[in-house]
Amino acid sequence: MSEEEDDLAAAWGAAIEDAATGGGDAAEPDAARVLNQAEIDSLMGFGDGDGDGNKKSGIERIISSGLVSYERLPMLEIIFDRLVRVMSTSLRNFTSDNVEVSIDSIASQRFGDYLNGVPLPAMLAVFKCREWDNYGMIVVDSAMIYSVVDVLLGGRRGTSAMRVEGRPYTTIERTLVERLLRVVLEDMGEAFRPISDVTFEFDRLEVNPRFAMISRLSNACVLARLRVDMEDRGGNIELLIPYATLEPVREMLLQQFMGEKFGRDSIWETHLAEELRHTRVALDVVLDQQVMPLSVMLALKPGDRITLSTPPNMPVKLQCGNVPLFTAELGRVEDRPAVRVLEESGSMGPAP
């Protein structure tokens, strides 16, 4: 921490202490400390001169603490790694060129912050996850767009794709990029298949971020930046998937490895079985069951008698709640009533 931040922290501590003790000087009740711009920037975490991007102010940490980290879903890294390998093969077949796909970064970001920082010009493709009933987005930057067009239309190798500023994308460029996106969406379905059978359907292609709203601006999303290299050409493809879209498979994404859900914990099973054997269960001895009108029930008063239709030597039912367990015989042991189990309910053989 710098000297300026130490002084600022001391000033804030003194101000809080004065507020807690009632303000010290009663002659100046309306006196307040005015922060200058440097102190405001330091408090908000702006303008740090040390260049260390890992250091955040307290307010920045409080704001970012509400953002879900993709690291809490470890299976996502495995899925994106699988996507890179599948895309490398499919794009080689698609472009008939030597294509290398790599992951630049995987991060969590709010949807509104990402839209504000989309590098334009670019194409924003909205896709629908049919089984999950939600949407995601793929952003293809201009370098990737012109590289794909150049490769698919027979451009010579060794020359970088030309980029013309200030003109809209043509129908041919949009059509070729749409073909590329359909290949990427098919590969995404293949990457997610080990945990869920999902179909990613191409929905629409936009060039204005305002028309690509698939989520609330404050919602958290997982952002994967992929780098596609085609010898001397290439560009970036960014996948943006809201956490609400991944909610149906969140439990599977919490796994540490593929197939973890099929693992068995024998220690826990043994402990659960042992505790179940010590569970106390209430057993009811049903001597007789009768159906009578509600008017008769309401007319009952202390001293009235209800005659049971069960003879003295007839078996009775032993049940837990509404579940019949055994058929028993009613009797006495010394001076206390008792029952002797005869057979299980619904079975012909005697009870063990």
- Interval 197-235: pLDDT, tens: 889 999 989 888 888 888 888 888 889 999 998 877 888
| Segment 129-143 mean pLDDT | 90
Residues 180 and 101 in one domain: yes
Does 18 reside within a domain?
yes
Does 118 reside within a domain?
yes
Residues 74 and 57 in one domain: no
**In what side-by-side order are the strands of the sheet with 134-141?**
100-110, 220-230, 233-242, 134-141, 122-129, 200-206
Q: Which of 46-55, 65-74, 266-275 has the highest mean pLDDT?
A: 266-275
Does 274 reside within a domain?
no
pLDDT value for 348? 37
Tell me the pLDDT of the chain averaged across its residues.
78
> Which range has the worst mean pLDDT, 37-46, 100-109, 181-190?
37-46
Residues 56 and 81 in one domain: no
Residues 117 and 249 in one domain: yes
DSSP structure string for 113-155: HHHHT--SSEEEEEEEETTTTEEEEEEEEHHHHHHHHHHHTTP
Tell me whether strands 122-129 and 134-141 are parallel, antiparallel or unpaired.
antiparallel
Residues 59 and 200 in one domain: no
pLDDT value for 330? 80
- Residue 307 φ/ψ region, left for φ over 0, alpha for ψ in the -120 to 50 degree band, beta for the rest: beta
We report the CATH number of the domain holding residue 319 as: 2.30.330.10
Sign of the torsion formed by the C-alpha atoms of 252, 258, 259 and 265: negative
Does 246 reside within a domain?
yes
Who has greater pLDDT, 262 or 309? 309
Does 174 reside within a domain?
yes
Q: What percent of the chain has pLDDT over 90?
A: 13
pLDDT value for 56? 54
| Segment 80-99 mean pLDDT | 89
pLDDT value for 127? 92
Tell me whether strands 323-333 and 316-320 are parallel, antiparallel or unpaired.
antiparallel
Residues 78 and 179 in one domain: yes
Give the type of residue at 247.
Answer: E
Does 185 reside within a domain?
yes
| Tally of structural domains, the chain | 3
pLDDT value for 352? 38
| Residue among 226, 271, 285, 286 at smallest CA distance from 103 | 226
Residues 255 and 236 in one domain: yes
Q: Is 79 helix (H, G, I), strand (E, B) or coil?
A: helix
Cα(206)–Cα(118) distance, rounded to whole angstroms? 13
Cα(141)–Cα(149) distance, rounded to whole angstroms? 13
Grade residue 27 by pLDDT with cuts at 50, 70 and 90.
Answer: very low
Residues 59 and 79 in one domain: no
Residues 164 and 284 in one domain: no
- Where do we find the tokens 């470890």? 74
Q: Tell me: pLDDT of 246 over 90.
A: no
Query: Per the structure block, which two tokens stand in for 313?
Result: 């030597």
Does 269 reside within a domain?
no
| Segment 127-133 mean pLDDT | 90
pLDDT value for 187? 92
Cα(127)–Cα(245) distance, rounded to whole angstroms? 11
Sign of the torsion formed by the C-alpha atoms of 242, 248, 251 and 252: negative
pLDDT value for 337? 82
Does 352 reside within a domain?
no
We report the CATH number of the domain holding residue 177 as: 3.40.1550.10
Residues 182 and 303 in one domain: no
pLDDT value for 183? 93
Grade residue 283 by pLDDT with cuts at 50, 70 and 90.
Answer: confident
Q: Tell me: pLDDT of 162 over 60.
A: no
Residues 122 and 184 in one domain: yes
Residues 233 and 250 in one domain: yes
Name the residue range of residue 31's domain. Answer: 3-65
Q: Which of 32, 65, 98 is the last residue of a domain?
A: 65
Q: Tell me: pLDDT of 184 over 90.
A: yes
Cα(64)–Cα(56) distance, rounded to whole angstroms? 10
Q: Which of 21, 37, 65 is the last residue of a domain?
A: 65
